[in-house]
Amino acid sequence: MSLDVNTKKLKKNAFRVSKHRGIGASRIRIPGGYCDADVLGMVQDIAKTYGNGFVHLTTRQGFEIEGIRLEDMDEINEKLQPIIELVGINQTDPGTGYPASGTRNISACIGNNVCPFANYNTADLARRIDKEIFPNDLHFKVACTGCSNDCAKARMHDFGIIGMTMPQYDPTRCISCNACVKGCRQLSVGALEMNDNYKIVRNTEKCIGCGVCITKCPTRAWTRSKKKYYKLSIMGRTGKKNPRLGEDWLIWADEDNIVKIIKNTYEFCEKYISPDAPARKEHIGYIIDRAGFETFAEYALKDVEFLPETVVKDRVYWSGIHFDQNNSGK
């Protein structure tokens, strides 16, 4: 094969360039890490026919089929088409394979399809967000997690969506067993106590909406609210210079407004991204640091109308390790 390979084209077609000449890997995006089992058989077929028989399960819940000869790209793209259709990925030109972008696969925990602690269907939300924002060259990372246990490590992402519930208490079903109080104290933040009438009182300011009380109650005196609520953590990141955990910006927010905020942030980044950013990849947190949080919020909150119960922090502050020229290692 000729060594005159257009690596930019390869990467835009979701193929990884490896350290072995003429060999790469085909990247397959699975929003929320949730897919029809038929996808696995298709991935296996491509790996056995065109690759070296190995598949990497990525940290962002996708597949990388290893050992792909870059000269086989066109054939592999045809094989990828049924997977793209099953998963539901946005695609401009069918038959040309996966579009690649700076916006990463939306990752998620298993959600309430399986987990008794999860407060919403994380896969559904991941797929909704993916449809709204993919593909795009800007470097965004989004994760959905079902509850405050944060199994998806949502606070390590630009946008971390954490499921909440507003616990509903029916005193007529309560048998004063204290199971919810003990559970909240041991597994959460201790927001419940029993009053003199042997009924449970919830500290609404302290409660984080995790739902532990619901899972511990034997009589269903505690139930989840019909309305879905979310906590939005923003601008967590890994990386070389200054990794940090995201900080909560919105509490008791709704899904529609969170999706709107994420989409609005693209407009902010288009305006303020550094002209020197390679391949238009710059962490949003760096852009916010340069443009100012108030400027970011002005863009992000455009046309957003919060629920009466939503708590919005006026200002978000981050801490973390900084490795830069002026503050090396501090």
Residue in 67, 233, 267, 97 with CA at minimum distance from that of residue 152: 233
What's the confidence (pLDDT) of residue 328? Answer: 40
Please, which residues bridge with residue 55 across strands?
Answer: 65
Tens of pLDDT, residues 127-185 = 999 999 999 999 999 999 999 999 999 999 999 999 999 999 999 999 999 999 999 99
Q: Retrieve residue 101's tokens.
A: 């972008």
| Identity of the residue numbered 224 | R
Tens of pLDDT, residues 185-244 = 999 999 999 999 999 999 999 999 999 999 999 999 999 999 999 999 999 999 888 899
Residue in 82, 80, 136, 109 with CA at minimum distance from that of residue 262: 136
The H-or-E segment that residue 68 falls in is strand 63-69
- Eight-class DSSP state of 138: S
Q: Rounded to an integer, what distance in angstroms lies between the CA atom of residue 143 and that of residue 231?
A: 12
pLDDT at 11 over 50: yes
108 confidence band (pLDDT: 50, 70, 90): very high
Out of 19-28, 107-116, 192-201, 288-297, which region has the weakest mean confidence (pLDDT)? 19-28
Phi, psi at 230, each rounded to 5°: -145, 150
pLDDT at 247 over 70: yes
What's the confidence (pLDDT) of residue 279? Answer: 77
Give the pTM. 0.92
Please, which residues bridge with residue 250 across strands?
Answer: 232, 312
Tens of pLDDT, residues 70-95 = 899 999 999 999 999 999 999 988 98
Q: Give 90 or 319, the one with higher predicted confidence.
A: 90
